[in-house]
Chains A and B, each alone.
Chain A
Amino acid sequence: MSSQVIEILQEKRLRSQKSDNPFVARSHYARLNKFRDNSFKIVGIISTLFGLAVLGYFLIDIFIDGVSRINWDFLTSLPSRKAEKAGILPAWTGSAWILGLTTLIALPLGVAAGIYFEEYAKKNRFNHLLEVNIANLAGVPSIIYGILGLEVFVRIMGFGETLLSGAFTLALLILPIIIVATREAIKAVPNTLREASYGLGASKWQTIKWQVLPAASGGILTGTILALSRAVGETAPLIVIGALAYVPFVPSSPMDSFTVLPMQIFNWTSRPQAAFLVNAAAAIIILLVITFILNGIAIYLRNKWQKKLI
Chain B
Amino acid sequence: MAKETYMMASEFVLNKSRSSELIIPNTKLETDVVAQSIKIESGRQLADIKISSKNLNVYYGDNHVLKNINMSIASNSITAFIGPSGCGKSTYLRVFNRMNDLIDSFNMNGKVEVDGFDIYDKSVETDELRKKIGMVFQKPNPFPKSIYENVAYGLKIQGIKKKSVLDDAVEKSLKQAALWEEVKSDLKKSALALSGGQQQRLCIARTLAVEPSVILMDEPTSALDPIASAKIEDLMTELKDQYTIIVVTHNMQQASRVSDYTAFFYMGDLIEFSDTKSMFLNPKKERTQNYITGRFG
Instruction: Check: A198 CB closer than 8 A to any chain B CB.
Output: yes
A202 with B157: in contact, given A122-B104, A123-B104 (CB under 8 Å)?
yes
A201 with B141: in contact, given A195-B99, A196-B203, A206-B157 (CB under 8 Å)?
no
Q: Which residue of A lies closest to B130 (CB)?
A: A201
User: Which residues in A have their C-beta under 8 angstroms from that of B210?
Assistant: 200-201
**Residue contact B131 to A201, C-beta cutoff 8 Å:** yes
A-side binding surface: helix, strand, loop or mixed? helix
Q: Which residue of B lies closest to A190 (CB)?
A: B141
User: Which residues in B have their C-beta under 8 angstroms from that of A123?
Assistant: 104
Instruction: Check: B128 CB closer than 8 A to any chain A CB.
Output: yes
Q: Which residue of A lies closest to B149 (CB)?
A: A210
**Residue contact A203 to B127, C-beta cutoff 8 Å:** yes
A193 with B127: in contact, given A198-B102, A200-B154, A200-B206 (CB under 8 Å)?
no
**Residue contact A201 to B158, C-beta cutoff 8 Å:** yes
Instruction: Check: A192 CB closer than 8 A to any chain B CB.
Output: yes
**Residue contact B143 to A199, C-beta cutoff 8 Å:** no
Kindly state the separation between the CA atoms of A254 and B215 in the bound complex, as whole angstroms.
56
Instruction: Check: B97 CB closer than 8 A to any chain A CB.
Output: yes
**Residue contact B157 to A210, C-beta cutoff 8 Å:** yes
Instruction: Check: A177 CB closer than 8 A to any chain B CB.
Output: no
Kindly state the separation between the CA atoms of A215 and B158 in the bound complex, as whole angstroms.
21
Instruction: Check: A211 CB closer than 8 A to any chain B CB.
Output: yes
Per-position binary interface string of chain A over residues 105-130, scored 1 when its CB falls under 8 Å from any chain B CB and 0 otherwise = 00000000000000000110000000
Instruction: Check: A308 CB closer than 8 A to any chain B CB.
Output: yes
B13 to chain A, nearest CB (A): 32
Interface residues on A, range: 20 to 34
A193 with B143: in contact, given A122-B104, A199-B97 (CB under 8 Å)?
yes
Q: Number of B interface residues at 8 Å Cβ cutoff, please give it.
A: 26
**Residue contact B153 to A198, C-beta cutoff 8 Å:** no
Per-position binary interface string of chain B over residues 111-150, scored 1 when its CB falls under 8 Å from any chain A CB and 0 otherwise = 0000000000000001111110011010101111000000
**Residue contact B153 to A200, C-beta cutoff 8 Å:** yes
**Residue contact A195 to B141, C-beta cutoff 8 Å:** yes
Kindly state the separation between the CA atoms of A199 and B136 in the bound complex, as whole angstroms.
8
B129 to chain A, nearest CB (A): 8
**Residue contact B139 to A215, C-beta cutoff 8 Å:** no
**Residue contact A199 to B102, C-beta cutoff 8 Å:** no
**Residue contact B104 to A200, C-beta cutoff 8 Å:** no
User: Which residues in A have their C-beta under 8 angstroms from that of B207?
Assistant: 199-200
Kindly state the separation between the CA atoms of A308 and B144 in the bound complex, as whole angstroms.
8
Interface residues of A in 174-199 (CB under 8 A from B): 190, 192-199
User: Which residues in A have their C-beta under 8 angstroms from that of B154?
Assistant: 200-202
Kindly state the separation between the CA atoms of A200 and B130 in the bound complex, as whole angstroms.
6
A195, A201, A202, A215: the one contacting B144 at CB < 8 Å is A215
**Residue contact A193 to B141, C-beta cutoff 8 Å:** yes
B104, B128, B143: the one contacting A196 at CB < 8 Å is B143
B124 to chain A, nearest CB (A): 13
Kindly state the separation between the CA atoms of A200 and B207 in the bound complex, as whole angstroms.
7
Interface residues of B in 4-28 (CB under 8 A from A): none
A202 to chain B, nearest CB (A): 5
Kindly state the separation between the CA atoms of A197 and B157 in the bound complex, as whole angstroms.
10
Kindly state the separation between the CA atoms of A271 and B206 in the bound complex, as whole angstroms.
69
Per-position binary interface string of chain A over residues 16-33, scored 1 when its CB falls under 8 Å from any chain B CB and 0 otherwise = 000000000000000000
**Residue contact A202 to B99, C-beta cutoff 8 Å:** no
A295 to chain B, nearest CB (A): 26
Q: Which residue of B lies closest to A308 (CB)?
A: B144
Kindly state the separation between the CA atoms of A195 and B154 in the bound complex, as whole angstroms.
13
Kindly state the separation between the CA atoms of A151 and B157 in the bound complex, as whole angstroms.
45
User: Which residues in A have their C-beta under 8 angstroms from that of B144?
Assistant: 193, 214-215, 308-309
**Residue contact A198 to B141, C-beta cutoff 8 Å:** no
A201 with B135: in contact, given A193-B141, A211-B143 (CB under 8 Å)?
no
Q: Which residue of A lies closest to B155 (CB)?
A: A200
**Residue contact A199 to B135, C-beta cutoff 8 Å:** yes
Best-surrounded residue of A192, A200, A308, A309 (most CB of chain B within 10 A): A200
**Residue contact B127 to A199, C-beta cutoff 8 Å:** no
A residues lining the B interface (CB < 8 Å)? 122-123, 190, 192-203, 206, 210-211, 214-215, 308-309
Apart from A192-B139, A200-B131: 9 A-B pairs, beta carbons within 8 A: A123-B104, A193-B141, A195-B141, A196-B206, A197-B153, A201-B128, A202-B127, A203-B127, A215-B144
> What are 11 contact pairs spanning A and B, CB under 8 A?
A193-B144, A194-B102, A195-B99, A197-B153, A198-B130, A199-B97, A200-B130, A200-B154, A200-B210, A201-B154, A202-B157
* Nearest 9 CB-CB pairings of A with B: A201-B131, A200-B154, A192-B141, A199-B135, A201-B130, A196-B141, A202-B157, A206-B157, A201-B127
